[in-house]
Structure 1
Amino acid sequence: MKRYFLVSIMLLCIINISCIPYKDTVYLQNKSQATDSLQVIVEQQKPYRVQINDILNIRIKVTDQDNVQIFNPIGIGNLNASGAEQAYFDGFTVDLHGNIRIPELGEMNVLGYTTKEIEVLITNILLEDQFKETANIFVTVKLTGLRYTTYGEIGSGIQTIYQEQVNIFEAIANAGDISDVGDKKDVLIVRQYPEGQKIHHIDLTDVNVMNSPYYYIQPNDMIYVKPLRQKSWGTGTNALQNISSVATILSLVTTSILLFNRL
């Protein structure tokens, strides 16, 4: 009887240790207060500043649109391309020196500028060299989609969202969500800066992540989701799966002992 009791205790310990706790699977938990409701004021995202390898979509409009046809090369790079690939051929890529090359206007340094600042810069150059104010120049500059990379316990690959502002949850949902064995409490964001790359850690299970300066992703971010220890153990994600696994093992052990005793 004592033997069965010890086996039962061991099984319960295995099940308890190998299960993934419920609190580790739930997003946006209120960990700092005892109340059910919590108002979180999301930090305003700072304007994004252009980096190397960004692709800009630049469109120039004037009263006589034929006069700016050369500035708007739509669809001439690759007629068979579509979507993000077409944006690559039609857009203006920021080179290693932070420059873009625009027809007639030549090279222009845009590294560290916001898209609004680039719009003003191009407008001023056109007014100085190409057009008069009566031409009613209207310049728009946008990033050709927000491109980022996901890997680990999440849908892996290069992702693109055609929005100017994307938070971490939208980015994860677009990649297919985090798997059951992904660590939501310590998600890594690798972000590019002029001086190099930095790694930032965020806890998606804490509602205060919405106050984090890394709540909104930026172009060229890399999002890495680490696996939980339960994955390396090869156990189930909940008690029922673990009981099934343990029962299978016990059944094999019992069968082996019975066969051995018969010999």
Structure 2
Amino acid sequence: MNKNNLNRYKYLYYMLLVAFCLGTSCVSNKKIAYFQDIQSVNQAKLEDAASFTEPIIQPDDILNINVFTLNPQSGAIINQSSATPALGGSSNSSLSTQSTGFLVDKNGEIELSLIGKLKVAGLTTYQAKELIRDKASTIYKEPNVQLRFANFKVSVLGEVGAPSAYTLPNEKVSILDALSLAGDLTIYGRRDNVLIVRDNNGKKEFARLDLNSSKIFNSPYYYLRQNDVVYVEPNKRKVAATNSAQVQTISVLASVLSVIIVAITSFR
């Protein structure tokens, strides 16, 4: 074997090793870091950032309602509610739990003791609270009403640390909040193409967010709504890693070529 042929084998061997590395272990920092277009503190101020809009109550939502009066016992009559099955329930569990609250029925109504049925679908929680307070004022003197979602749920799936359905006590939840609850993206998650699936009046909406860019702060999907689904796609590295046949083939070829080169070198 002449020197030129030996060099060709070595070159082929090293090229296969590089290809194997790129396919299974090497990841550019440009695909990992968030908000890469913010280069300095002077550029940290963003204009036209997305504004938060209060979520709208819809049928099948569960509302946690408390009416406080001068006589706590009389107010407790209105506050009576039953446990309603719901998904999620905590930031670290995706098991079914019982959410206590008032279920908004298919007609968009809730039914409160003494007050009766009230149509709350299409209202914000603030508007629904004011409606209940006005109705309760006809029975009690200066009632105080607290109202929030009992099943404000978002689902985070795909390449995150802890995929699950999360029930949150706060209505103002951003995509970054949801990903933080889910343990952030894994090293295999695509940060430039995070999918948001939203149910808007019975129709599905889809949006893609690029976490590498600060433009997500301007997106109308930056703040999540109840029942949103966040899906993080696997990157090419994960696809290559899960393709065991391809990885094994490359490993075998590299090993065979290594043996051949060693054998050729020893007989020179």
State whether TM-score is above 0.5.
yes
Residue 142 of structure 1 corresponds to 148
Taking the aligned partners of 1:10 and 1:170, their CA distance within structure 2 comes to 42
Distance change in 2, residues 1:254/1:86 (3 Å):
closer
Per the alignment, residue 192 of structure 1 pairs with 199
Contact 1:183/1:228 (CA < 8 Å) preserved in 2?
yes
C-alpha separation in 2, matches of 1:10 and 1:86: 52
Counterpart check, 1:96 vs 2:106: yes
2:17 paired residue number: 11
The whole-number CA distance in structure 2 between the counterparts of 1:218 and 1:205 is 22
**Contact kept in structure 2, 1:45 and 1:216, CA below 8 Å:** yes
> Which residue of 243, 251, 255 maps to 1:251?
255
Aligned partners of 2:157 and 2:230 also within 8 Å? yes
Task: Find out whether 1:54 has 2:54 as its counterpart.
Answer: no
Q: Structure 1 residue 177: deviation in Å?
A: 1.4
Q: CA, structure 1 residues 223+67, in 2 after alignment: closer, same or farther (shift >3 Å)?
A: same
Task: Specify the code of the residue in structure 2 equivalent to 1:250.
Answer: A
Out of 209, 215, 226, the position equivalent to 2:216 is: 209
1:189–1:93 CA distance, 2 compared to 1 (3 A): same
Give the equivalent residue in structure 1 for 2:158. Answer: 152
Cα distance, 1:35 vs structure 2: 8.4
AA at the equivalent of 1:106: G
For these two proteins, the number of residue pairs brought into alignment is 240
Q: Distance in 2 between the 1:37 and 1:191 partners?
A: 31
CA–CA distance in structure 1, aligned partners of residues 196 and 66 of structure 2? 32
Matched residue, 2:266: none
- Counterparts of 1:61-210 in structure 2, within 5 Å, are 61-73=68-80, 77=83, 88=99, 90-128=100-138, 130-131=139-140, 135-144=141-150, 146-154=152-160, 155-210=162-217
Q: CA shift at 1:38, angstroms?
A: 2.8
Write the distance in 1 (CA, Å) between the matches of 2:54 and 2:261.
69
Q: How far off is 1:114 after superposition?
A: 0.4
Residue identity matched to 1:7: Y
What residue identity is the alignment partner of 2:68?
Answer: K
Q: Deviations over 1:2-39 (max 9, x none)?
A: 321233234334434653321111112217x7987331
Q: Give the aligned partner of residue 36 of structure 2.
A: 29
Q: Which runs of 5+ in 1 are unaligned?
A: 237-244
**Secondary structure in structure 1 of the residue aligned to 2:238:** helix
Q: CA deviation at 1:156?
A: 2.0
The AA in structure 2 aligned to 1:117 is: Q
For normalisation by structure 1, the TM-score amounts to 0.79
How well do the aligned residues superpose, as a CA RMSD in angstroms? 3.1
Against the structure 1 CA distance between its residues 34 and 120, is the aligned structure 2 distance closer, same or farther, given a 3 Å change threshold? closer
Shift in Å at residue 94 of structure 1? 1.6
Alpha carbons 1:145, 1:163 under 8 Å: kept: no
Q: In 1, Cα distance between the equivalents of 2:252 and 2:12?
A: 19
Structure 1 residues 235 and 147: CA distance shift in structure 2, 3 A: closer
In structure 2, how many angstroms separate the alpha carbons of the residues matched to 1:96 and 1:215? 29
The one-letter amino acid of 1:44's match is: S
Equivalent in the alignment of 1:240: none
- The verdict on how the C-alpha distance between 1:247 and 1:55 changes in structure 2, with shifts beyond 3 A counting, is same
The 1-side partners of 2:16 and 2:262 are apart by 22
Task: Describe the shift of the 1:117–1:235 C-alpha distance in structure 2 as closer, same or farther (beyond 3 A).
Answer: closer
For residues 161-201 of structure 1, give each alpha carbon's deviation from its aligned partner in whole angstroms, at most 9, with x where no partner exists: 32231111111110121111111111111111114121111
Q: State the TM-score, normalizing by the size of structure 2.
A: 0.77
